[in-house]
Chain A
């Protein structure tokens, strides 16, 4: 082979590589990148929402608008358009918000979930403007036009809650009955699906709001059995424990449910621990993600258990689980809040002010972003109380 032929081949290979690589652009990947960046700026805005200026909102709106403009046919563009509407609503610019939300219905009719969410958001705006009839119209349109969406499932219960909040008891009673019948129909027609899980959740909420405790406990027990080993089971058992303690006085059944909740949490905690440390380095990045998910389950379960322990006045357990929650979510506001709550329990329930002081001091040393003056005041008042 002559040198010129070799050079020609190299040149062709080089051009093909350049074309291939530069051709690998645009499309869904670019859209995902834009969405991620827009969501990140939205999250940043939400963190500082109280001090956000109109230009901060405009920046985020522009990011989402760019995405919708560049990729109108992309599957997440309807969601981006919905977010634009929500951003205007956050700024109390309701007319613009309604306009942007209506665009979702006009431009993305194929995306049922987002259209239902847009109708709900429009209904909420009307509700806030005290135009209940217009709001109800939108809510009913959600159920009739998009019956299989999560947002539509919320509507019957939401309507009942509205009437209850306005002390329209007869209408509330009727709405709850209609809601529960509708949800039971969903469970019958779509067993073992996400729809049935959602319907169960709303039935339980409806029964609790109507104070039908025995029925609520029954549904919760069924859910705990069906989803054993998950945070759902922990949540259900904790709620059963609180119901039996406070509403259907049966200490024995309350204790049983609480013990089972702790056992379920134990299983989740064990799974979470296995991901720590002993994984090959290359998998660490992926396992950091998996660990986050499992840690997330453990944190969620602990939230339910701590709430149950406080309701059941199991103070030693509450402190122990708040500490575990603080360890698992170390360095976050949740950890700080958990420590503050355990300090309050030491002081207000167990009459151990020194332990409360130690926790507050630990907070001052290790947590930035907490209200330092408030904590220092607490320490000072506890020291005064000790002297007395």
Chain B
């Protein structure tokens, strides 16, 4: 599909998505739930150095890191890392269920039916292992691409004068590859829910279906995720720059990340699901 056509299709999909959300705002609910869980996790971690939460977190921090991170302001240095691991846990449990629920809600709305929240959640729970499997596969491939390429550069070029430039190139292009991987695998969620496929069948379906509309999918993913990636790239500098005068900046930046991720996930999943439904109709 040519670039102009892909942009045109992406524009139509977004238009359809926004009309759908205006008509049935309950579609936002699953992403809101995930954002709330992330916010609660961040709040708990923020209060973790203080009694009584420190009773739980102090032994963990002592075992895996250093007790200095229980004290102000060093706790803000460890906060991003701890939150990252919490987010993985949330995504693997609540997050994928909410993705599944969102897909089913969109499917019901596009079929002209009344969206049923409890029913969609129920369907998502029954497809949980497939949904979690898709997320794990995406995560592992993305992780391998980013870490593997870094490792290769460090092993091969650490003595070279080009090393600092290469590291930066690999880091930034790694995010691009992660978006490409998402573009290939994201159809697995609607395939698992709408077509009730199992894990490998859903992934296979996603790979084949996404080939035909790859550029459109990439636009639908990259555009919302652009700000998310920008924030990820700049947050370390923001936090370390602000740390000397305002350590709480780490909390604000992470909170902003939750808001940005909420919007990005909502836009990506809803538009991708609509594209999947459209693709399915054209195949039929």
Contacts and interface: CB of A to CB of B under 8 A. Distances in A.
Given A24-B52, A282-B84, A277 B72 contact: no
A24 B243 CA distance: 23
B53 interface: yes
Given A282-B80, A285-B240, A286-B78, A27 B72 contact: no
A281 interface: yes
B118 to A, nearest CB: 12
Nearest to B76: A285
A289 B232 contact: no
Contacts of A27: 50-51
Nearest to B40: A17
Contacts of B84: 282
Q: Most B CB atoms within 10 A — which of A29, A278, A286?
A: A278
Contact of B50 (A25, A280, A282, A286): A25
B73 A280 contact: no
A32 interface: yes
A21 interface: yes
B47 A24 contact: yes
Contacts of B243: 285
Interface stretch (B107-115, B163-171, B218-226): B163-171
Given A21-B47, A24-B52, A278 B72 contact: no
Q: How many of chain A's residues touch chain B, expressed as a range?
A: 20 to 34
Nearest to B68: A289
Contacts of A282: 80-81, 84
Contacts of A382: none
A39 to B, nearest CB: 11
A187 B24 CA distance: 79
Interface string B231-245: 010001001100101
B72 A23 contact: no
B77 A286 contact: yes
A320 interface: no
A50 interface: no
Interface string B34-62: 00000010010001011111000000000
A278 B236 contact: no
B4 to A, nearest CB: 36
B53 A284 contact: no
B158 A278 contact: yes
Nearest to A23: B52
A21 B153 CA distance: 45
A288 B244 CA distance: 12
Contacts of B158: 278
A278 B73 contact: no
Contacts of A23: 52
A286 B163 CA distance: 22
Contacts of B247: 36
A281 B232 CA distance: 9
Interface string B74-93: 10011011001000000000
Interface string A7-35: 00000000001001101110111001100
B147 interface: yes
Interface string A98-140: 0000000000000000000000000000000000000000000
Q: Most B CB atoms within 10 A — which of A24, A36, A280?
A: A24
Interface string A283-316: 1111011000000000000000000000000000
Given A282-B84, A286-B81, A29 B49 contact: yes
Given A278-B154, A278-B158, A280-B147, A285 B77 contact: yes
A281 B172 CA distance: 11
A24 B53 contact: yes
A270 to B, nearest CB: 12
B150 interface: yes
A284 B247 CA distance: 15
Nearest to A17: B40
Nearest to B248: A33
A281 B78 contact: no
Contact of B72 (A36, A280, A286): A36
B80 A285 contact: yes
A34 B114 CA distance: 55
A31 to B, nearest CB: 9
Interface of B: 40, 43, 47, 49-53, 71-74, 77-78, 80-81, 84, 147, 150, 153-154, 158, 163-164, 167, 171, 232, 236, 239-240, 243, 245, 247, 250
Given A280-B150, A281-B171, A288-B240, 4 more contacts: A24-B50, A29-B50, A32-B72, A281-B232
27 contacts: A17-B40, A20-B53, A24-B50, A25-B50, A28-B71, A29-B49, A29-B50, A29-B72, A32-B72, A32-B73, A33-B72, A33-B73, A36-B72, A40-B245, A276-B164, A277-B167, A278-B154, A278-B158, A278-B167, A281-B232, A285-B80, A285-B81, A285-B239, A285-B240, A285-B250, A286-B77, A286-B81
Nearest 10 A/B pairs, CB to CB: A32-B72, A24-B47, A24-B50, A278-B154, A284-B236, A29-B50, A277-B167, A33-B72, A282-B81, A285-B77
